[in-house]
Structure 1
């Protein structure tokens, strides 16, 4: 096969001199443009030092420019590089130079050849930091889109895996990839995601969280509607279920949707464990979150309005614990809750080793000092600490932030209206969850609308042979994912 068959020609534009473009780019100190004089022609080579791989230029490009070539077409025959692009458009020349291409022009030609030589320096594939698992794969996404696509494609080596790439951001020109499996994913979901991303008119896209906030159905809701994950194995698994995956160049996390409320309490490690153990852990997480949200407000409501609900054996303990406390229960609870949040933020923003020390030592010192100083009771200190631990059990970080936020409105309602305030707040929360959707799909599915089949992988995870069909909420084109075993014939 001849080498020129690897490059593609762009549509012909009006012949234009590229001198103005190159002179404009030379205002930047990292832009280089030099000429090479040979017997027949003068080549002009232009590129950005900070964007290209110098090895590609010195190894694959410059040694082959000395050949006797009077046209760019003849020059291409002698270059051992694939993906060469011809252009007559100065705007395209500028945009490709800024993407890590090398431009080659001849003095007697109105065309330019663009050679891809981008420097793809990026962080190596490492262990997951947020979604670490004891069993299962140990690879995590990195900041390179091409590397992330490789991590997914090697798990799904099929032609049906389609990748739609969109450039977003007037300034950042960020590559955004939308992945789905043709024949499985619902075409309406795919078109919705592509349309929403294509309609974005923003200057910069720095991370995948920008995309998530801009294309979700309910932008004012504290609940996330796209699951953010750093695990390529999880992304490959949900693609097989018919979901859509969004990858952003420069982001070590991928987005998947549509999602449901119960998926935020399901760790991907659950699928590597026996179904009974995995179901037990899911229930533990769900009840830990309920405990985290409700325990402190119930404490405030009971001590403020509902003394009769306290068991007789516990009354003396609470009286002794609160004796000498100058603050009402609501103020006492807010002091401890804010102290926990301050410690959590300080531990997250400081370097790893210092952050761990601040979190452990600071919690012990502040908790002990507040009890001994008579500012808070030891019973409430235990409840707040357990509530904080309960919020850490959610596998998805964004949902953990939402749980931390929800506790404060519930605390205030418990102070003003007691248990009635908690009930009212819980009803408002339930109504809000019922109104949320993810890519137009119900967020509270399979509870609403009720879908018994999808309950097999919601609060509990039943064995794989009982999940022969894909989730109904995704509305996949191919619903079967586990075909029945054929009877062997003698």
Structure 2
């Protein structure tokens, strides 16, 4: 687009902006007179607050109409008023919720913010509820989300950098990090990747995540998604970087490791023994979700001799009347569970809960009575589904539901050997995966004993002196305590 200066004729400015906006009907013009000279105010009525515009500008004109014309800018009581000389730049600002004031025979426009703010109240995220601790969460307004972080981290080292992503939407995103802790190399890498994004629009943070992550084919999420300000704060203090998007309550945190997705704020709100127990329980749920269906299929298909003698007859009587192999009934029930889950999400909450409970009971009982699925398979699928939902992260839970299908196919083809072969491939993939140069399976690969205190387990607070080494923080220690010694 050619860059023209603001025209001295008011009508020429109006005509240019109308053409540049493709004659949109919500572009409005209000005329006024200032010391005998005509002026116009242009704005888009769909995104500005007209009451705010009245208080900020027009009511001030009526209070003192005898001021010098050079002081027209002072009659705009906005926090920030910009003087813009290029007409195309004025047009761009109007679409961001600004109002533009033109005065006859002046080759510049005054632009100020009168954007309408509509947002829901700050409340706890539905998918990240905790028992103790903070119960507020991010909303769809970027400034509100940044305020929640500023309120928690009141230091000058908290840095916020804005970027616009999307050639058509110009979606505003913010990179947040602590300059005194975050590694400058990782910050620079994240910034370069954000600047290199070339797309028409940003539909959600998931789109940004795909552009930024190192391995898009991997089923494992490489950036932590969260709507909790306290969780973002804890990761920022560990040296990580947060990415927030205007219009979405989800924050992306990087670099992240596999064990980051199994941490919950409740781990730190409880005694360390309780927090460690529940964190280990989540780790066990990962193994249950991927192994239990595969072990059942391999045992029934190839290794019937490992079943205890007391269970041989019940298992045999349950399985022998099923007309097809265990892999078929496993896939049938797993897909049924996924269908019920998707239906429960799409329907309104009361109906969704009813469909989930009644649908699961009715279908489960019906398929067993019809002889399509064994009753043991119903138990296996139920345990697997529960284990996959234990994970605090929805993205990791989704990854688990996808991963268990290859395990089932390998188990049906090669038995226990197939399960171990598939698990070996999974471990190799986890060990090779990286998140912004940080090992994804840290602190197990590479093994870092110090970082085990706040990953696999949750050690007492006084023992967690050092930040995770995987994030390469500039400050090594979290607290002044050394080797567990207290001042008393």
TM-score range, shorter chain: over 0.9
Alpha-carbon distance in structure 2 between the residues aligned to 1:251 and 1:161: 21
**SS state at 2:152 partner:** coil
In structure 2, C-alpha distance between the alignment counterparts of 1:257 and 1:160, rounded to whole Å: 18
Q: What is the aligned counterpart of 2:331 among 331, 334, 341?
A: 334
Partner of 2:60: 64
TM-score, normalized by length of structure 2?
A: 0.95
In structure 1, the partner of 2:43 is 47
Matches within 5 A, 1:49-198: 49-66=45-62, 67-68=65-66, 71=69, 73-198=70-195
Aligned to 2:347: 350
When structure 1 is superposed on structure 2, of 57-66 and 166-175 the one drifting more is 57-66
Structure 1 residues 108 and 68: CA distance shift in structure 2, 3 A: farther
**Distance in structure 1 (CA, Å) of the matches to 2:5 and 2:313:** 92
The CA distance in 1 between the partners of 2:185 and 2:455, in whole Å, is 24
Alignment match of 1:381 (pick from 373, 378, 383):
378
Q: C-alpha deviations, 1:428-485, integer Å up to 9, x for none?
A: 1111111111111100000111111000011110011111111111111111111139
Range moving further from structure 2, 335-344 or 146-155: 335-344
Aligned mates of 2:6, 2:117 — CA distance in 1: 31
Contact 1:41 1:69 in 2 (8 A): no
Relative to structure 1, is the Cα distance of residues 281 and 487 closer, same or farther in structure 2, using a 3 angstrom cutoff? closer
The aligned counterpart of 1:10 is none
Q: How does 1:2-41 map to 2 (within 5 A)?
A: 15-17=5-7, 18-24=13-19, 25=21, 27-41=23-37
Work out the CA distance in 1 between the residues paired with 2:254 and 2:35.
60
Question: Are 2:442 and 1:445 equivalent residues in the alignment?
Answer: yes
Name 2:420's counterpart in structure 1: 423
Query: Could you tell which deviates more after superposition, 478-487 or 382-391?
Result: 478-487
- Measure, in 2, the Cα distance between the counterparts of 1:69 and 1:40: 11
Change (3 A) 1:57 1:383: same
In structure 1, what is the Cα distance between the partners aligned to 2:312 and 2:461? 49
Q: Where does 1:272-311 land on structure 2 (aligned, <5 Å)?
A: 272-311=269-308
Deviations 1:163-220 (A, max 9, x none): 0000111111111100011111111111111110011111101221111111011111
Q: How does 1:404-483 map to 2 (within 5 A)?
A: 404-483=401-480
CA distance in 2, matches of 1:69, 1:172: 40
C-alpha separation in 2, matches of 1:149 and 1:412: 46
Counterpart contact for 1:139–1:231, Cα < 8 Å: yes
**Which residue of structure 2 aligns with residue 253 of structure 1?**
250
Please tell me whether the aligned partners of residues 206 and 250 of structure 1 are also in contact (alpha carbons under 8 angstroms): no
- 1:97-132 deviation per Cα after TM superposition (whole angstroms, max 9, x unaligned): 000000000111110000111111111111221110
Aligned positions, number: 476
* 1: CA distance, partners of 2:15 / 2:445: 61
What is the TM-score with the length of structure 1 in the denominator? 0.94
1:317 matched to 2:307? no
Shift of 1:322: 1.6
The 8 Å contact of residues 4 and 87 in structure 2, kept in 1 or not, is answered as no
Tell me what 1:264 maps to.
Answer: 261
Structure 2 residue runs of 5 or longer lacking an equivalent are 8-12
Which deviates further from its counterpart, 315-324 or 129-138? Answer: 315-324
What do residues 354-395 of structure 1 show as CA deviations (whole Å, max 9, x unaligned)? 111110100000000011111111111101101000000000
Structure 1 unmatched runs, 5+ = 1-12
Structure 1 residue 19, shift from structure 2 partner: 3.8
Alignment of 1:228-247 (within 5 A): 228-247=225-244
Secondary structure at the residue paired with 1:137? coil
Q: 1:488 to 1:475 in 2, by over 3 A?
A: closer
- RMSD over aligned CA atoms reads 1.6
Give yes or no for contact 1:40–1:70 (8 Å, CA) kept in 2: no
The offset of 1:236, in angstroms, is 1.1
| SS of match in other structure, 1:65 | helix
3-state secondary structure, aligned to 1:121: coil
Distance in 2, matches of 1:348 and 1:135, equals 26
Q: What's the CA shift for 1:344?
A: 0.9
Partner of 2:10: none
Change beyond 3 A, Cα 1:53–1:422: same
CA distance in 1 between partners of 2:222 and 2:326 (Å): 35
1 CA distance for matches of 2:331 and 2:295? 13
Paired residue secondary structure (2:100): strand
